[in-house]
Amino acid sequence: MSHSQTEKQSAIRNPQSAFDVAVIGAGIVGAACAYELAQAGLSVVVIESDVIGGGATAAGMGHIVVMDDSEAQFALTRLSQQLWQALLPALPRTVEYETCGTLWVAADEEEIQEVRRKQTFYQARGVAAETLDAKQLAEAEPNLREGLAGALLVNEDAVSYPPCAALWLLERAQALGAVLQQGQRVVALERDGVRLVDGSRVVANQIVNAAGSWSPELTPGIAVKKRKGHLVITDRYPGFVQHQLVELGYLKSAHSLTTDSVAFNVQPRATGQLLIGSSRQYDDESREVNTAMLQRMLKRAVEYMPRLAKLSTLRVWTGFRAATPDKLPLIGLAKENLWLATGHEGLGITTSLGTARLLADQICGRASAIPVEPYLPSRYSK
Amino acid sequence: MFERFDTDILVIGAGPAGLAAAACCAAESGKRVIVLDDNFGAGGNIWRGEAAQPRSSSAKVWFARVRQAQLEIHSGTRVFQQPAPACLLAETQAGVREYRYRKLILATGARERFLPFPGWTLPNVMGAGALQALVKNGLPIAGKRVVVAGSGPLLLAVAAYLKQQGAQVLLIAEQAARKQLLPFAAAVLRSPAKVVQGLKLKTELAFVPYRTSCWAVAASGEKFLQRVQIQCGSSTIAYDCDYLACGFHLVPNLEMAELLGCAVQASRVSVNEWQQTSVAEVYAAGEITGIGGLELSLAEGQIAGYAAVDQPEPARRLFAERAKQQRFADALNRAFALRDELRSLPRGETLACRCEDVTFEQLRQYPDWRSAKLHTRCGMGACQGRICGAALEVLLGWGASSIRPPVFPVRVESLMCDVTTNNE
Amino acid sequence: MTDNITLFINYERLTVPAGTSVAVAVLRANVTTLRRSVSGEPRAPLCGMGICFECRVTINGAAHARSCQIVCEPDMRVTTDD
């Protein structure tokens, strides 16, 4: 069907016909890149060793959010969110895009000051944001515990189901002629293409490493580290939570470069199920659920939302974020004809579209809507 | 509420295999034995509801031994995680229990296999064992019209039971062909005990049509079942009825064994002659070592029980019985193999996954189980793929994927339970 | 055991023999739909042994209770999707 068996064969057996670009990885970032590049008229092959959207894409919250950690992070998330909004009419139901908004929950007066600072920041940049006091927060989310100080409501933030978003983006790319090469790992990046596990080669003029937490295996030395996370999904409780809920401490958790941390983060799915996160760990490379981390994460969640304790959970799973030291992704040229589109940490779903746009701009020599310097891989080789 | 238990032997499953194992452990050795079970009463499926009033002779014998051994049976207790070696966490309605053990005997039994067909999700379409379980739990069945269908000797036992309870059993539709069943009939005839059982069933089912090479192709009704279409050879016959009890043999409940890392081959937990699995302190008995029925479960349970308390002699004395029952089980499994026609029963709009309402048409777009799961959420619902997984293995040849805790849905607060500090 | 239990199925009083499961009590109350599936289909018990999750009802305010694995208790308040 959409897996283009015959085109796959010819890509391998006919090394004379080089693709313009080979994108490694069909997670949401790779899929988005393939779509942008195909729209730019380039011939694209996407190489995925496993299931489409099966890496960090399948372990993320699917949050489409603006962040104010830095001007560069804001610019990229804001651009990306606008690109998602432009796509919205075309997105199928399976992507489950819901503009439910984010509530950044403040536990005390100090955090309310932070809420006000964020509100000012967002409003100055054209992002709708309002401060809710304790009473308004309780009305908006009655299942949150008593005694919270308030929250920042960012109305345009949304949630989605990322594996289907990645699949849809890839299918859009294929409709424009992109080819999917699925089922084999890339073992080496070469001057004129990539080599697969069975020894065959895919020939391409440009190579994009969008392999997420595996990207340093393909391009050694890049500043990407694995950062393990846990996720829990509950049975259906429609109406239990209305908005994506995040504690302000989430930012401290995401910021830390070395320690393991948890932060309260609950999201309502279109199905009525609740996604509960979040945890961050370096140095645990096992896919297995880390019981101690899981307990910490759930305890934190129940502190903010006591009635979560009685809800039925269906599954627990893990994933690896690709983290960089300055919390900004790598989008641009690594060397020669090798490009990077990786290092998105916990913002890959949101910034997949902005990443793809900026990458395509650079490959095609177009001007970008936002400055690209903060994301260039070369910032790490100075 | 958090409770901690420390035991020499922990048995999971209070069906025949588990009770036999536990009784042998406790009676012979004076060691502490605890039996856990998910149901609210002991007996598993075959002896459901018989703990207080056993009906069959084997149930009478074994429940008497259970009482004599003064076994600790924890009902309504559901294991979900192994937080540390030789330690299991289980959930009850009231809270969480931690069990520390020296030896573990898995006797988690089997569940029915359901194969989708148009209308299979209607209320009052259920498994054969399922209808029997509900009737044992108090469902009135007198005067109700029942069609029993699917495959396996369970259909006969269920039909006989229902008839005894006053149901009007209209038909037993066995999908296997008559000639396929003959070797099984021969195996029955070789065993006097089974001949007696068989004759008893024949008498009880005297006026109930038993048709081979027949299977349900569609169920219909407004809000619940009203009619079933049965295909027999080249003709389709409609039956107006109140219940369709339809199950296609049994699949073992392997999730606990997989969680513990026991080697599993061809849907059986691999065990040596002592019923010991690949994990030294873990034994397995009953349907999880291969579907084989009551007598085999009892033999294996006893062997596991004696082996777990280092009593090789009484265990060895049961090897011959086990071997004999194993041969019978092999004949049984061959006889009731599923026919190809069953694979083409579902239509595009027939649901493959009942938890997430995923149709076959949606599933067929994906090359394998993992991508289908991720993109349609088939198998990601409350049953954790137990119902659809067994069906898709037959229908699409899709193998199951790996096990992760919780192996059963549990409350958030149960996952938060911290065993090291004994806190919630 | 000849004791009876009285409980409430969708706000209607029902008396059943002690030891009856909640699933059976619901069926005895002539309620044929225990839950509505995600696409709105009526559902009732399939496996009878706590594995299929089709028998989920709300008991005393707690949703997603597997009624075939729970025995009736006096004054239980059981509600189904319909």
Write out pLDDT tens, residues A131-162.
Answer: 999 999 999 999 999 999 999 999 999 999 99
Token representation of residue C11: 């706000």
Q: Is A237 on the interface with C (CB under 8 A)?
A: yes
Q: How far is CA B164 from CA B136, B205, B246, C47, C81, in A?
A: 12, 9, 19, 21, 33
Q: Is C51 on the interface with A (CB under 8 A)?
A: no
Using pLDDT thresholds of 50, 70 and 90, give the confidence band for residue A376.
Answer: very high
pLDDT above 70 for A5: no
Q: Which chains touch B (3 or more CB pairs under 8 A)?
A: A, C
Q: How many residue contacts between A and B have a Cβ separation below 8 Å?
A: 80
> Are C48 and B130 in contact (CB < 8 Å)?
yes
Residue A275 distance to chain B (closest CA, Å): 12
**Per-residue model confidence (pLDDT) at position B422:** 53
| Residue in B with minimal Cα distance to C27 | B139
Q: DSSP class of residue C37?
A: -
Contacts of C64 in chain A (CB under 8 A): 235-236, 312
> Are B371 and A316 in contact (CB < 8 Å)?
no
Using pLDDT thresholds of 50, 70 and 90, give the confidence band for residue A249.
Answer: confident
Residue B281 distance to chain A (closest CA, Å): 22
User: Rounded mean pLDDT of B141-161?
Assistant: 96
Instruction: Write down the mean pLDDT value for chain A.
Output: 93
**Per-residue model confidence (pLDDT) at position A252:** 67
Q: Which chains touch C (3 or more CB pairs under 8 A)?
A: A, B
Q: Is B53 on the interface with C (CB under 8 A)?
A: no
| Residue in B with minimal Cα distance to C49 | B130
Q: How far is CA A179 from CA A182, A250, B354, in A?
A: 10, 39, 34
> Are B39 and C69 in contact (CB < 8 Å)?
yes
Q: What digits encode the pLDDT tens for the residues B341-385?
A: 999 999 999 999 999 999 999 999 998 899 999 999 999 999 999
Using pLDDT thresholds of 50, 70 and 90, give the confidence band for residue B403.
Answer: confident
User: Rounded mean pLDDT of A163-168?
Assistant: 98
Burial class of residue B38, CB neighbours in 10 A (0-12, 13-18, 19+): buried
Q: What digits encode the pLDDT tens for the residues A189-247?
A: 998 999 999 999 999 999 999 999 999 999 999 999 999 999 999 999 999 999 999 99
Share of chain A above pLDDT 70, in %: 93
Strand partners, B110: B252
Using pLDDT thresholds of 50, 70 and 90, give the confidence band for residue A328.
Answer: very high
Using pLDDT thresholds of 50, 70 and 90, give the confidence band for residue B421.
Answer: low
**Cα radius of gyration (chain C):** 12
Token representation of residue A310: 């009685």
Contacts of C38 in chain A (CB under 8 A): 236, 271
**Per-residue model confidence (pLDDT) at position A11:** 43
**Per-residue model confidence (pLDDT) at position B409:** 96
> Are C63 and A271 in contact (CB < 8 Å)?
no
Contacts 24+ apart (CB under 8 A), B261-267: B262/B106
Q: DSSP class of residue B52?
A: T
Residue C23 distance to chain B (closest CA, Å): 8
Q: Is A307 on the interface with C (CB under 8 A)?
A: no
Chain C positions touching chain B (beta carbons under 8 Å): 1, 16-17, 19-21, 23-25, 27-28, 32-34, 37-39, 41-54, 56, 64, 68-71
Q: Is B382 on the interface with C (CB under 8 A)?
A: yes
Q: What are phi and psi of B44, to 5 degrees?
A: 65, -140
User: Rounded mean pLDDT of B53-75?
Assistant: 93
> Residue with structure tokens 């009135």?
B140
User: Rounded mean pLDDT of A45-54?
Assistant: 96
Between CA C26 and CA B224 the distance in angstroms is 15
Q: In degrees to the nearest 10, what's the CA dihedral of A353, A357, A358, A362?
A: 150
Contacts of A305 in chain B (CB under 8 A): none
> Are C64 and A235 in contact (CB < 8 Å)?
yes
> Are B387 and C33 in contact (CB < 8 Å)?
no
Q: CA torsion sign, A360 to A101 to A134 to A142?
A: negative
Residue pair B80/B405 in contact by the 8 Å Cβ criterion: yes
First to last CA, chain B: 8
**Per-residue model confidence (pLDDT) at position B418:** 79
Share of chain B above pLDDT 90, in %: 82
pLDDT above 60 for B256: yes
Q: How far is CA A335 from CA A99, A326, A341, C45, C79, in A?
A: 39, 20, 13, 61, 64
Q: Is B52 on the interface with C (CB under 8 A)?
A: yes
Between CA A296 and CA A292 the distance in angstroms is 6
- Residue among B386, A358, B413, B220 nearest C54 (CA): B386
Instruction: Write down the mean pLDDT value for chain B.
Output: 93
Contacts of C37 in chain B (CB under 8 A): 121, 354, 357
> Are A235 and C38 in contact (CB < 8 Å)?
no
The counts of H helices and E strands in chain A are: 10, 18
Using pLDDT thresholds of 50, 70 and 90, give the confidence band for residue C2.
Answer: low
Between CA A221 and CA A223 the distance in angstroms is 6
**Per-residue model confidence (pLDDT) at position B420:** 65
Token representation of residue A157: 């933030």
ipTM of predicted assembly, 2 dp: 0.96
**Other Cβ atoms within 10 Å of A313 Cβ, number:** 23
> Are C64 and A271 in contact (CB < 8 Å)?
no
User: Rounded mean pLDDT of B97-111?
Assistant: 97
> Are B354 and C46 in contact (CB < 8 Å)?
yes
Between CA A65 and CA A78 the distance in angstroms is 8
Q: Is A291 on the interface with C (CB under 8 A)?
A: no
> Are A276 and B370 in contact (CB < 8 Å)?
no
Using pLDDT thresholds of 50, 70 and 90, give the confidence band for residue A178.
Answer: very high
Between CA B352 and CA B317 the distance in angstroms is 46
**Per-residue model confidence (pLDDT) at position B399:** 81
**Least CB–CB distance from A313: residue in B365, B377, B409:** B409
pLDDT above 70 for A109: yes
User: Rounded mean pLDDT of B25-39?
Assistant: 89
pLDDT above 70 for A9: no
> Are A235 and B409 in contact (CB < 8 Å)?
yes
Q: What digits encode the pLDDT tens for the residues B73-102?
A: 999 999 999 999 999 999 999 999 999 999
Task: Map residue A242 onto helix, strand or coil.
Answer: coil
Using pLDDT thresholds of 50, 70 and 90, give the confidence band for residue A2.
Answer: very low
Using pLDDT thresholds of 50, 70 and 90, give the confidence band for residue B204.
Answer: confident
Q: Is C64 on the interface with A (CB under 8 A)?
A: yes
Residue B261 distance to chain A (closest CA, Å): 13
User: Rounded mean pLDDT of C68-80?
Assistant: 97
> Are C63 and A237 in contact (CB < 8 Å)?
yes
Residue C12 distance to chain A (closest CA, Å): 25
Q: What's chain A's length in residues? A: 382
Contacts of B95 in chain A (CB under 8 A): none
Residue pair A64/A157 in contact by the 8 Å Cβ criterion: yes
> Are C43 and B133 in contact (CB < 8 Å)?
no
User: Rounded mean pLDDT of B53-71?
Assistant: 92
Token representation of residue A169: 């983006």
> Are C62 and A310 in contact (CB < 8 Å)?
yes
Residue A305 distance to chain B (closest CA, Å): 11
Between CA B380 and CA A135 the distance in angstroms is 37
Strand partners, A313: A234, B410
Contacts of B137 in chain C (CB under 8 A): 19-21, 23-24, 68
User: Rounded mean pLDDT of B394-405?
Assistant: 83
Give the residue from C2, C3, C7, C21 with the most B CB atoms within 10 Å of its CB, the best one to mutate: C21
**Per-residue model confidence (pLDDT) at position A3:** 43
- Element at B106 (helix H, strand E): strand B96-106
DSSP string, B248-303: ESEEE--HHHHHTT--EETTEE---TT-B-SSTTEEE-GGGGS---HHHHHHHHHH
pLDDT above 70 for B129: yes
Q: Is C1 on the interface with A (CB under 8 A)?
A: no
Between CA B62 and CA B157 the distance in angstroms is 20
Question: Is-cis flag, bond preceding B297, omega within 30?
Answer: no
Using pLDDT thresholds of 50, 70 and 90, give the confidence band for residue A257.
Answer: low
User: Rounded mean pLDDT of A40-44?
Assistant: 97
Strand partners, B269: B264
pLDDT above 90 for B70: no
Question: Is-cis flag, bond preceding B406, omega within 30?
Answer: yes
Residue pair A348/A212 in contact by the 8 Å Cβ criterion: yes
Using pLDDT thresholds of 50, 70 and 90, give the confidence band for residue A10.
Answer: very low
Q: How many residue contacts between A and C have a Cβ separation below 8 Å?
A: 9
User: Rounded mean pLDDT of A306-326?
Assistant: 96
pLDDT above 70 for A324: yes
The counts of H helices and E strands in chain C are: 1, 7
> HEC states along B62-102?
HHHHHHHHCCEEECCCEEEEEEECCEEEEECCCCEEEEEEE
- Element at A330 (helix H, strand E): strand A330-335
| Residue in C with minimal Cα distance to B120 | C46
Burial class of residue B198, CB neighbours in 10 A (0-12, 13-18, 19+): middle
- Residue among B92, B293, B278 nearest B191 (CA): B293
Q: Is B314 on the interface with C (CB under 8 A)?
A: no
**Per-residue model confidence (pLDDT) at position A16:** 53
DSSP string, B161-226: HHHHTT-EEEEEEE-S-HHHHHHHHHHHHT-HHHHHHHHHHHHHTTTS-EESSEEEEEEE-SSS--
Q: Is B151 on the interface with C (CB under 8 A)?
A: no
Using pLDDT thresholds of 50, 70 and 90, give the confidence band for residue C36.
Answer: very high
Residue pair A11/A181 in contact by the 8 Å Cβ criterion: yes
Contacts of C62 in chain A (CB under 8 A): 310
Using pLDDT thresholds of 50, 70 and 90, give the confidence band for residue A8.
Answer: very low
Q: How far is CA B335 from CA B156, B179, B181, B248, B394, in A?
A: 15, 9, 5, 13, 16
- Residue among A370, A281, A319 nearest A83 (CA): A370
Contacts of A237 in chain C (CB under 8 A): 63
| Residue in C with minimal Cα distance to A272 | C38
| Residue in A with minimal Cα distance to B405 | A316
Q: Which residue has the higher pLDDT, A5 or B22?
A: B22
User: Rounded mean pLDDT of A73-82?
Assistant: 98
**Per-residue model confidence (pLDDT) at position B28:** 67
Between CA C4 and CA A89 the distance in angstroms is 58
